[in-house]
Amino acid sequence: MAKYDKIVELRKGRSEELKNAVLTTIDLLVNQGKEVTIANVTRESGVSRSYVAHNQELVNRINAVHQEQLANKEKMPLLLRIKELEKEIQQMVPRSEYEELKEKYVRLYNHQLIEVVDGL
């Protein structure tokens, strides 16, 4: 019975370490401005998806933080959201193509402003 108790104690300790790793990763992702999802948390923490999925406390925490992030994005002023999207595009599109697209965007945007002003 003593061996069994020792195994249970070790497993509980390991489980607590994994839980703390996940909670720390959630905080880290929030501080870095990255999206908090189960996939991102498990990738960054190195903890298995299975462990997280079977721990309802962790699932609830991840979902709550993710919902808060989504709500904050909706409240974000339009210009800040544009800047955020520009950064995302920069990461997805080669630099030269990004600059070309940015120039086209600026021309179209300025053209629309001119049309609006002329319409007044």
pLDDT for 109 beyond 60:
yes
> 25 near 45, Cβ under 8 Å?
yes
**What pLDDT digit, counting tens, does each position of 9-58 carry?**
767 777 888 899 999 999 999 988 899 999 999 999 999 999 999 999 99
pTM: 0.57
Closest CA to 37 of 16, 74, 64, 55: 64
Give the confidence band of 60 by pLDDT, cuts at 50, 70, 90: very high
User: With pLDDT > 70 as the criterion, what percentage of the chain qualifies?
Assistant: 88
> 47 near 39, Cβ under 8 Å?
no
